[in-house]
């Protein structure tokens, strides 16, 4: 069993405190994703906007409970993600900051690119996006069709379309995955300024995790200077599929923690709104609490493994699949404590149910995670117990 040390325990207490405020704006953000612009002073949002910026670029980071937190380890990210998502997963995804792109920048960017990226984030609240999914290629990212071709003058041009991209329409910078040649080594990630000609992003209608403002992006000959190709100083084997796998392994425990936070939010909601429970209800509620605690342990183990061996994301897949299912089951179960019509009378639970469904698709669906878990079992990289 993993227990948090004093530093991470401190993080948990502070983040739990911040999350209370987020509950107050959760339904508003769900109705109107632009609500985030009025919440930039919320401590959770401020923290997220500075996460994944290494110490070198932010030496005077505000300490929390006397400790420095930069979000560079999966373990730290899962502790914050669970607590902030228990306040509002929508706001966690709506916040400015390095977010998904930050892990890739840390893995692949050279000094000049880091200066450009972190410099933008530190100058003003800056939203970022990470664009891999395409209209016809979600789970099968290898079939990606977005092209990165030479422009004949030493630069490059991006052509294609991306879909379901978090914060796409509100971002100032982002990372786009594209193909610069056929075959498995042909995937490349480039830094993109959303003000570049040919870049267009529009929000798409969604029902869950609406704060994330999922967007459709069109890339119509977007110019990309050669200096913005991530991993240009690395061999092709290190910058394409390899970097994508490493990045998703590192992020996956955090997505699992978001699901866990949603489940906990629904579970806490029952305790807060139903002052007295029958004996049978109390036993059921406590059993669910133990399931939540069990999945938290799995997520912490997965995060510890990813921090020690970033190439081993198999347990992280098991954790993500388990946590996403937990979130769906616990949010639906919570309705049963409020009788017929609860989905109408308890709008917060309705939102949590929709958010839980959204997590199922983030960073690989349950089926894809189960395939990855199975490979880990077959290869002996994770145990059967």
Ligand X SMILES: Cc1cc2nc3c(=O)[nH]c(=O)nc-3n(C[C@H](O)[C@H](O)[C@H](O)COP(=O)(O)OP(=O)(O)OC[C@H]3O[C@@H](n4cnc5c(N)ncnc54)[C@H](O)[C@@H]3O)c2cc1C
71 is a contact residue toward ligand X (CB under 6 A): no
Q: Which is nearer to ligand X, 103 or 270 (CB)?
A: 103
What is the C-alpha separation between 174 and 191, in angstroms, rounded?
6
Which three-class secondary structure state does DSSP give residue 222?
Answer: strand
214 is a contact residue toward ligand X (CB under 6 A): yes
Applying CB under 6 A, which of residues 62, 139, 235, 309 lies at the interface with ligand X?
Answer: 139
The pair of structure tokens assigned to 348 is 């917060």
Q: Which of 142, 240, 128 is nearest to 191 (CA)?
A: 128
Q: Which of 54, 178, 197 is nearest to 115 (CA)?
A: 54
SS (HEC) of 148-194? EEECCCCCEEEEEEEEEECCCCCCCEEEEEEECCCCHHHEEEEEEEC
Q: Which is nearer to ligand X, 64 or 356 (CB)?
A: 356
Query: What residue is closest to ligand X based on CB?
Result: 138
Q: Which stretch binds ligand X (CB under 6 A): 128-136, 278-286, 304-312, 322-330?
A: 128-136
Q: Which stretch binds ligand X (CB under 6 A): 6-14, 54-62, 239-247, 364-372?
A: 364-372
Q: Which bin fits 261, alpha (ψ -120 to 50), beta or left (φ > 0)? A: alpha
49 is a contact residue toward ligand X (CB under 6 A): no
What kind and span of H or E run contains 67? none
209 is a contact residue toward ligand X (CB under 6 A): yes
255 is a contact residue toward ligand X (CB under 6 A): no
Applying CB under 6 A, which of residues 156, 362, 372, 376 lies at the interface with ligand X?
Answer: 362
**Binding track over 280-319 against ligand X, x by CB under 6 A:** ----------------------------------------
73 is a contact residue toward ligand X (CB under 6 A): no
Q: Which is nearer to ligand X, 110 or 180 (CB)?
A: 180
132 is a contact residue toward ligand X (CB under 6 A): yes
**Residue burial 61-77, b: 16+ Cβ < 10 Å; e: rest:** eeebeeeebbbbbbbbb
97 is a contact residue toward ligand X (CB under 6 A): no
Minimum CB separation from ligand X for residue 296, in Å?
21
What is the C-alpha separation between 43 and 22, in angstroms, rounded?
10
Applying CB under 6 A, which of residues 138, 236, 289, 310 lies at the interface with ligand X?
Answer: 138
Count of positions on this chain that bind ligand X (CB under 6 A) = 20
165 is a contact residue toward ligand X (CB under 6 A): yes
Minimum CB separation from ligand X for residue 65, in Å?
31
What kind and span of H or E run contains 236? helix 236-239
Nearest 5 degrees, angle CA 131-CA 223-CA 155? 115
235 is a contact residue toward ligand X (CB under 6 A): no
Nearest 5 degrees, angle CA 132-CA 81-CA 122? 70
The pair of structure tokens assigned to 129 is 């996006």
361 is a contact residue toward ligand X (CB under 6 A): yes
Bridge partners, residue 193, by sequence: 173
Which three-class secondary structure state does DSSP give residue 361?
Answer: helix
Which three-class secondary structure state does DSSP give residue 66?
Answer: coil
Q: Which is nearer to ligand X, 189 or 306 (CB)?
A: 189
Minimum CB separation from ligand X for residue 239, in Å?
17
What is the C-alpha separation between 114 and 346, in angstroms, rounded?
45
Applying CB under 6 A, which of residues 75, 131, 187, 229 lies at the interface with ligand X?
Answer: 131
Applying CB under 6 A, which of residues 187, 212, 258, 334 lies at the interface with ligand X?
Answer: 212
144 is a contact residue toward ligand X (CB under 6 A): no
Q: E-assigned strands of the chain?
A: 128-131, 147-150, 156-165, 173-179, 187-193, 199-203, 215-224
365 is a contact residue toward ligand X (CB under 6 A): yes
Residues near ligand X, by CB under 6 A:
100, 130-133, 138-139, 164-166, 209, 212, 214, 358, 361-362, 364-365, 367-368
């Amino acid at each position: 069993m993993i227990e948090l040390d004093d530093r991470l325990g401190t993080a948990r207490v502070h983040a739990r405190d911040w999350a209370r405020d987020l509950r107050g704006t959760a339904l508003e953000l769900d109705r109107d994703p632009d609500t985030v612009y009025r919440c930039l002073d919320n401590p959770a949002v401020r923290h997220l906007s500075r996460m994944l910026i290494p110490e070198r670029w932010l030496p005077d980071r505000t300490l929390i409970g006397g400790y420095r937190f930069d979000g560079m380890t999966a373990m730290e990210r899962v502790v914050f993600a669970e607590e902030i998502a228990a306040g509002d997963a929508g706001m966690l995804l709506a916040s400015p900051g390095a977010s998904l792109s930050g892990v890739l920048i840390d893995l692949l960017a050279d000094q000049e690119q880091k200066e450009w990226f972190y410099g933008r984030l530190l100058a003003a609240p800056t939203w970022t996006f990470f664009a891999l999914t395409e209209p016809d290629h979600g789970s099968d990212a290898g079939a990606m069709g977005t092209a990165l071709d030479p422009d004949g003058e030493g630069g490059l041009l991006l052509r294609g379309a991306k879909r379901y991209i978090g914060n796409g329409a509100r971002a100032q910078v982002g990372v786009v995955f594209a193909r610069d040649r056929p075959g498995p080594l042909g995937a490349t990630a480039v830094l993109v300024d959303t003000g570049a000609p040919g870049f267009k992003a529009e929000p798409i209608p969604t029902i869950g995790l609406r704060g994330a403002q999922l967007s459709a992006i069109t890339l119509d000959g977007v110019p990309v200077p050669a200096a913005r190709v991530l991993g240009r100083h690395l061999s092709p084997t290190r910058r394409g599929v390899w970097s994508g796998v490493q990045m998703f392994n590192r992020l996956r425990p955090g997505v699992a923690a978001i699901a866990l936070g949603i489940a906990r939010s629904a579970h806490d909601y029952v305790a807060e709104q139903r002052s007295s429970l029958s004996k049978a209800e109390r036993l059921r509620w406590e059993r669910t609490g133990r399931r939540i605690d069990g999945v938290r342990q799995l997520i912490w183990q997965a995060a510890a493994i990813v921090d020690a061996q970033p190439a081993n994301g198999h347990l992280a897949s098991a954790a993500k699949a388990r946590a996403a299912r937990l979130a769906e089951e616990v949010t639906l179960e919570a309705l049963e404590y409020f009788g017929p019509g609860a989905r109408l009378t308890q709008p917060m639970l309705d939102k949590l149910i929709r958010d839980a469904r959204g997590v199922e698709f983030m960073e690989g669906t349950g089926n894809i995670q189960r395939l990855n878990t199975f490979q880990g079992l077959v290869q002996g990289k994770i145990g059967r117990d």
